[in-house]
Amino acid sequence: MKTVVTTGGRPDDLSRQRALFASSTLAIPFVDRRKRSMQKIMEQEQANILVAGKMRYEYYAFGQKEPFFFHPSSAAFRAKRLARGEKDTFLEAVQLEKGDTLLDCTLGMATDSMLASIQVGEQGRIIGCEGNPVIAFMMQQGLQEYNYVEEKLLELASMRQIEVISSIAVDYLRQLPSNTMDVVYLDPMFEKTIEESKNFTPLREAGIHISLDDEWMYEALRVAKKRVVLKAHFRSPLFEKYHFKQLKRPNTKFHYGIFEK
């Protein structure tokens, strides 16, 4: 289904410029709002809607009433815990060091990538793949524009360094030479519903649903220099199928698996 971009309900010059920028970057049509509701535009255009507001972009998947928009979500309190010296289970699984590189194959809300960017520091590199080009655009804009100072989230200043690649992960992996990323991270989030964030529901509707398969796993192992890390439902058969060492965590819905090179 096609996607069109429009402005907020009371557009000004800035929101119109942002809408035209998105239209040009994504090669999608711009439509005048004309005081129409999102549902009305969806019906008339038979399209998903990207809304360019003054402060952020919002994405309405066709038939959905709630939008997806960028927000640090759980990364906000996780970063504060990290700053207090507390441990983070994801960081314990990926075992990143300063200067390391990580490829997040399913960027989603980028919450894990934000924590990874803190861990690797300025000399490190975090790349995230997002298969939906509109969501990839929104994530890149959000990571660059989010006012972490005003929101008192200085711990997340490193989010600026995250690179968003608009691509299915396995397609991007094929392009990379062997042993080029220290860690390749796999989170096939649509295998089972794990994330409970309200803002995640519209993203789940907009996302591209791809399960971990033999080719994806092969490419991840080829590209990873140190390890491949999997996040999946604790009952997932993927841990055993691909020989991950499962880090079992009592009373949690998801576990991490590690495949050391």
DSSP codes joined into one string, 91-123: HHHH---TT-EEEESS-TT-HHHHHHHHHH-TT
The lowest-confidence range among 112-116, 175-179, 202-206 is 202-206
User: Is residue 67 predicted with pLDDT exceeding 80?
Assistant: yes
Global confidence as pTM: 0.91
Q: Are 204 and 78 members of one domain?
A: yes
**92 C-beta neighbours (distance < 10 Å), count:** 11
pLDDT band at 194 (very low <50, low <70, confident <90, very high): very low
Mean pLDDT of the 108-134 span: 96
pLDDT at 99: 98
What is the rounded average pLDDT of the residues 86-109? 96
Any domain includes 9: yes
Instruction: Give the model's confidence band at 193: pLDDT under 50 very low, under 70 low, under 90 confident, else very high.
Output: very low
Please report the pLDDT score of residue 203 as a whole number: 56
End-of-domain residue from the set 15, 35, 60? 60
- Residues 198, 79: one domain? yes
Top pLDDT among 195 and 36 is at 36
144 with 252, same domain?
yes
Domain enclosing residue 172, as ranges:
74-260
Residue 190, pLDDT > 90, answer no
Say what the pLDDT of residue 204 is.
Answer: 55
Strand bridging mode 163-166 / 101-104: unpaired
- Res. 257: pLDDT tops 70: yes
**132 and 156 inside one domain:** yes
15 pLDDT more than 60 = yes
One domain for residues 133 and 197: yes
166 & 197 share domain: yes
Q: Mark whether 37 and 166 lie in a shared domain.
A: no
Evaluate if residue 244 carries a pLDDT over 70: yes
Residue 210: the pLDDT is 74
81-86 mean pLDDT: 96
Q: What is the mean pLDDT of residues 202-214?
A: 68
Per-residue pLDDT, averaged over 23-42, amounts to 96
- pLDDT tens sequence across 97-108: 999 999 999 998
Pair (9, 106) in one structural domain:
no
pLDDT surpassing 50 at residue 192: no
Residue 125 sits in the same domain as residue 183: yes
In a domain, 193, yes or no: yes
Domain count, the chain: 2
**pLDDT exceeds cutoff 90 at 48:** yes
Give the H/E segment covering residue 26: helix 13-26
Q: What angle do CA 106, 51, 17 make, to 5 degrees?
A: 110
Query: Residue 67 and residue 16: Cα distance in Å, rounded?
Result: 19
176 and 95 inside one domain = yes
Same domain as 102, residue 38: no
